[in-house]
C-alpha cells in the first residue's frame, strides 16, 4: 500500500501505518475509558517528568525553526513546555483532590453567584505558588447561565465525578503549527478530560516537535492509548474520514475547519451554503480570532502610557504575531486627549524590536490583503521579507478585512469610536467588538485604577456583555492559554456552518464542565514587568526557570526565579 505525500519536514506516515495505528487505538479505547484514577494520576506525573526532560532541546529546535536567537527563547518556554507542565500540574492536583474528597478540590467560597445570578468559579490563584508569582492576578470561570448556584458542584469534575458520562472513543487531533504546546495539550484534553484515546497528526509547519511529544507520551504510546502521525492535508483527510475515528479536534483556521467539515472546491462551497456537512462526526475546534484591545479613556501618567504601549506591542510581536490571541484591533476612544500620544508610543515600541522572519505559510498574502484594503498604513522598522510591524488606521464603519479575517502576522488595525465618557465609549466598544469583529476567542480591556474606581459599573457591564471565551482586564486575554486552570476556547454559540473561533474548550485543569467564559484581572501596572513581555531583558532566563518550577515546585527554586523576573 503506497504512502501518502510527504510534508515539508518529516516523512509522511503511510496509509498502512495509519490504519494499523487506528486499529490499535480502537482496541484500547474501552480500556482507557475504564482506567483508574490512580493510574491516570501516575500517567500525568510521568508525562510531566518526560516533558521537562525534552524541554531544552525542544526550545532549541523551535528557535532554529523560527530563525531567532537565544535571547528570544522566553516566548518558546512560556508557550511551549511551561504551558504544558502547568496544565499537567493542576490537572494532576485536581484528580488527586477528587480521589481524596470525591470532588474538585475548590473551597466553597470559590463558587459564587454574580449579581445577575450567573455562577462564577474562581480558579486563579490556583495555589500558594500562584499568590507569590502572580500577585494581584485573579481569574474566574463563568458557567453556563442555565446552571444555578445549587447545581454548580455537580458541574465540576466531568467524567471523574459523573461516572455515567464516561464513554470510549477514538479522537483525531490535528495539531497547530505555531507553538509547541498546542498539540500535546489537545491530546491531554482528549485523554484526561474527555476520556478518549487519541491519534495526533503533527502540523508540517512544526513537525520537528514530534520526537519530543512522543518522548513525553512514551508510556501511553507503548500501552496503545496514543498514536502519532506526520503529513499534509491528504494524511489528515484519511484520518478524519476513517471509520475507526469517532471525533475530531482541530486547532487552525476557519478554512481548514470548513475543508474538513464540508470538503473543498465547488462541492465544499455548495455544501457550506446548504449547511450540508460531509463530516457527520463531532468536530471541536479552536480557530482564529480578530482579538480586540479596548483602551478605556482616563488620565494616564507618562509611565503608564509607556507601560501599556509595551503591553499592546507585545500582544502583536510575541511569536511574530503568529498567535490566534494576538492583538488585531486597538479600539480607542475618539475624544481621548491622550490617544495620539499613546499610539505614537505603540509605534515607537514596535519599531524598537528586531525584525522577525515570517515563518508561517501565507503570511505575505494575508499581510497584503490588510494593507491594500485602505486606511492609514504605518510601518515600524523594516523587514527584508516585506513584513514590517504595521498598524492600519481604519474607520469604524468600513468593510475592511482587518475586521473580518485574522491576519496572523505582524499587522493590526486601530479604530476610534465616539463616547464622551468611559460608559458611553464602552457601550459602543462592546457593540463594535461583538458585532463587527470576527471571532470570540479573547479580548483585552485596559483601564487605569482611578477610572476603574469611578466607572466600575460600566466596566463590569462591559465585561458581562462581551462575547469572548477569555476576557483580560489589564492583562492580555491570551493569558488564559498558558495558565492551564482556565478553559481555553471560543464563546459558545458558533454553528458548524459559521464556525468563527470554534466550538468547545481545552486545557480546563479544574474540570469546569460547562464554561461560558473566563474573566482574568490584574493590576493596571505589573511590577516587575511581566516575564512574557518582549521588552523584558531577561525573559529567556526567567521563563526557563519558571518552566523548571512548574515541573517541580519547591521553595528552593523561588529565589533564582524571582531574581531573573525582577531584572527587567
pLDDT for residue 269 is more than 50: yes
pLDDT for residue 548 is more than 80: yes
Contact 484, 87 (CB under 8 A): yes
Q: How confident is the model over 290-335, as pLDDT tens digits?
A: 999 999 999 999 999 999 999 999 999 999 999 999 999 999 999 9
pLDDT band at 85 (very low <50, low <70, confident <90, very high): very high
Structure-block grid coordinates of residue 375: 486606511
pLDDT for residue 345 is more than 50: yes
pLDDT band at 10 (very low <50, low <70, confident <90, very high): confident
Q: How confident is the model over 426-446, as pLDDT tens digits?
A: 999 999 999 999 999 999 999
pLDDT for residue 286 is more than 50: yes
Give the dihedral sign, CA 462/463/465/466. positive
pLDDT for residue 253 is more than 80: yes
Closest CA to 433 of 501, 487, 355: 501
Q: How confident is the model over 31-84, as pLDDT tens digits?
A: 999 999 999 999 999 999 999 999 999 999 999 999 999 999 999 999 999 999
pLDDT for residue 467 is more than 50: yes
pLDDT for residue 2 is more than 90: no
Percent of the chain whose predicted confidence (pLDDT) is above 70: 98
In this predicted structure, what is the pLDDT of residue 495? 97
C-alpha distances (whole Å) from 103 to each of 122, 157, 167, 505 are 15, 7, 20, 21
Q: How confident is the model over 189-233, as pLDDT tens digits?
A: 999 999 999 999 999 999 999 999 999 999 999 999 999 999 999
Give 518: exposed, middle or buried? Use CB within 10 Å, 0-12, 13-18, 19+: buried
3-state secondary structure 258-304: HHHHHCCHHHHHHHHHCCCCCCCCCEEEECCCCEEEEECCCCCCHHH
Q: What is the mean pLDDT of the chain?
A: 96
In this predicted structure, what is the pLDDT of residue 384? 67
pLDDT for residue 234 is more than 90: yes
Domains delineated in the chain: 15-110+153-286 (3.40.605.10), 291-521 (3.40.309.10)
Span 253-260, average pLDDT: 96
What does the alpha-carbon distance between residue 256 and residue 73 come to, in Å, rounded to a whole number?
29
Beta-carbon contacts of 266 under 8 Å, excluding residues fewer than 6 positions away, are none
Beta-carbon contacts of 397 under 8 Å, excluding residues fewer than 6 positions away, are none
Count of Cβ atoms closer than 10 Å to residue 222 Cβ: 9
Give 451: exposed, middle or buried? Use CB within 10 Å, 0-12, 13-18, 19+: buried
pLDDT for residue 4 is more than 70: no
Cis peptide, bond prior to residue 528, ω within 30 of zero: yes
C-alpha distances (whole Å) from 268 to each of 140, 287, 514 are 40, 19, 32
Q: At what angle do helices 422-436 and 456-465 cross, to 10 degrees?
A: 10
Angle subtended at Cα 195 by Cα 520 and Cα 38, rounded to the nearest 5 degrees? 90
What does the alpha-carbon distance between residue 291 and residue 388 come to, in Å, rounded to a whole number?
20
Closest CA to 341 of 392, 297, 277: 297
| Backbone dihedral region for residue 442 (phi beyond 0: left; psi -120 to 50: alpha; all else: beta) | beta
What does the alpha-carbon distance between residue 372 and residue 311 come to, in Å, rounded to a whole number?
27
200 has which bridge partners? 173, 228
pLDDT band at 383 (very low <50, low <70, confident <90, very high): confident
In this predicted structure, what is the pLDDT of residue 5? 41
Contact 333, 342 (CB under 8 A): no
Give 356: exposed, middle or buried? Use CB within 10 Å, 0-12, 13-18, 19+: buried
pLDDT for residue 1 is more than 70: no
Contact 235, 204 (CB under 8 A): no
Structure-block grid coordinates of residue 165: 458520562
pLDDT for residue 149 is more than 90: yes
What does the alpha-carbon distance between residue 331 and residue 427 come to, in Å, rounded to a whole number?
12
Percent of the chain whose predicted confidence (pLDDT) is above 90: 96
Contact 443, 471 (CB under 8 A): yes
Phi/psi for 105 (5° steps) reads -75, 70
In this predicted structure, what is the pLDDT of residue 382? 78
Amino acid at each position: 500500500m503506497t504512502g501518502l505525500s510527504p510534508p515539508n519536514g518529516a516523512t509522511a506516515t503511510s496509509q498502512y501505518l495509519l490504519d494499523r495505528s487506528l486499529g490499535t487505538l480502537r482496541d484500547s479505547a474501552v480500556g482507557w475509558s475504564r482506567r483508574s484514577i490512580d493510574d491516570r494520576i501516575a500517567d500525568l506525573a510521568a508525562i510531566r517528568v518526560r516533558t521537562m526532560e525534552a524541554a531544552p532541546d525542544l526550545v532549541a529546535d523551535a528557535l532554529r525553526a523560527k530563525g531567532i536567537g537565544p535571547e528570544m527563547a522566553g516566548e518558546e518556554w512560556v508557550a511551549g513546555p511551561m504551558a504544558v507542565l502547568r496544565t499537567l500540574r493542576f490537572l494532576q492536583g485536581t484528580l488527586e483532590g477528587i480521589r481524596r474528597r470525591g470532588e474538585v478540590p475548590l473551597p466553597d467560597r470559590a463558587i459564587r453567584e454574580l449579581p445577575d445570578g450567573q455562577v462564577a468559579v474562581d480558579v486563579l490563584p490556583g495555589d500558594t505558588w500562584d499568590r507569590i508569582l502572580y500577585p494581584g492576578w485573579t481569574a474566574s470561570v463563568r458557567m453556563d447561565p442555565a446552571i444555578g448556584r445549587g447545581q454548580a458542584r455537580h458541574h465540576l469534575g466531568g467524567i471523574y465525578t459523573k461516572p455515567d458520562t464516561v464513554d470510549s472513543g477514538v479522537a483525531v487531533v490535528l495539531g497547530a503549527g505555531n507553538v509547541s504546546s498546542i498539540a500535546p495539550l489537545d491530546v491531554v484534553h482528549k485523554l484526561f478530560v474527555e476520556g478518549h484515546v487519541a491519534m495526533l497528526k503533527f502540523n508540517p509547519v512544526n513537525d520537528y516537535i514530534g520526537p519530543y511529544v512522543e518522548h513525553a507520551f512514551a508510556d501511553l504510546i507503548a500501552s496503545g492509548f496514543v498514536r502519532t502521525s506526520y503529513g499534509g492535508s491528504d494524511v489528515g483527510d484519511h484520518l478524519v474520514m476513517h471509520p475507526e475515528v469517532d471525533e475530531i479536534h482541530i486547532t487552525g483556521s476557519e478554512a481548514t475547519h470548513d475543508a474538513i467539515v464540508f470538503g473543498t472546491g465547488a462541492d465544499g462551497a455548495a455544501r457550506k451554503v446548504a449547511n450540508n456537512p460531509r463530516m457527520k462526526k463531532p468536530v471541536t475546534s479552536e480557530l482564529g480570532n480578530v482579538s480586540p484591545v479596548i483602551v478605556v479613556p482616563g488620565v494616564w501618567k507618562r509611565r503608564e502610557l509607556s507601560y501599556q504601549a509595551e503591553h499592546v506591542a507585545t500582544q502583536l510581536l510575541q511569536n511574530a504575531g503568529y498567535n490566534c490571541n494576538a492583538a488585531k484591533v486597538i479600539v480607542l476612544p475618539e475624544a481621548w486627549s491622550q490617544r495620539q500620544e499613546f499610539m505614537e508610543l505603540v509605534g515607537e515600541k514596535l519599531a524598537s524590536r528586531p525584525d522577525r522572519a515570517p515563518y508561517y505559510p501565507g503570511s505575505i498574502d494575508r499581510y497584503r490583503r490588510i494593507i491594500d484594503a485602505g486606511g492609514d498604513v504605518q510601518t515600524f522598522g523594516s523587514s527584508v521579507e516585506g513584513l514590517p510591524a504595521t498598524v492600519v488606521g481604519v474607520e469604524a464603519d468600513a468593510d475592511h478585512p482587518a475586521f473580518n479575517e485574522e491576519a496572523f502576522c505582524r499587522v493590526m488595525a486601530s479604530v476610534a469610536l465616539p463616547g464622551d465618557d468611559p460608559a458611553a465609549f464602552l457601550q459602543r466598544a462592546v457593540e463594535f467588538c461583538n458585532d463587527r469583529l470576527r471571532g470570540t476567542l479573547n479580548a483585552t480591556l485596559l483601564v487605569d485604577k482611578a477610572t476603574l474606581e469611578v466607572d466600575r459599573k460600566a466596566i463590569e457591564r462591559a465585561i458581562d456583555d462581551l462575547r469572548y471565551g477569555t476576557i483580560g482586564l489589564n492583562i492580555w486575554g491570551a493569558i488564559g492559554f498558558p495558565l492551564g486552570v482556565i478553559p481555553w476556547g471560543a464563546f459558545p454559540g458558533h454553528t458548524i456552518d459559521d464556525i468563527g473561533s470554534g466550538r468547545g474548550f481545552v486545557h480546563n485543569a479544574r474540570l469546569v464542565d460547562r464554561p461560558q467564559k473566563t474573566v482574568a484581572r490584574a493590576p493596571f501596572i505589573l511590577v516587575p514587568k511581566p516575564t512574557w513581555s518582549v521588552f523584558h531583558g531577561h525573559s529567556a532566563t526567567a521563563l526557563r526557570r519558571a518552566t523548571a518550577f512548574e515541573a517541580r515546585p519547591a521553595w528552593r527554586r523561588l529565589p533564582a526565579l524571582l531574581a531573573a523576573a525582577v531584572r527587567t
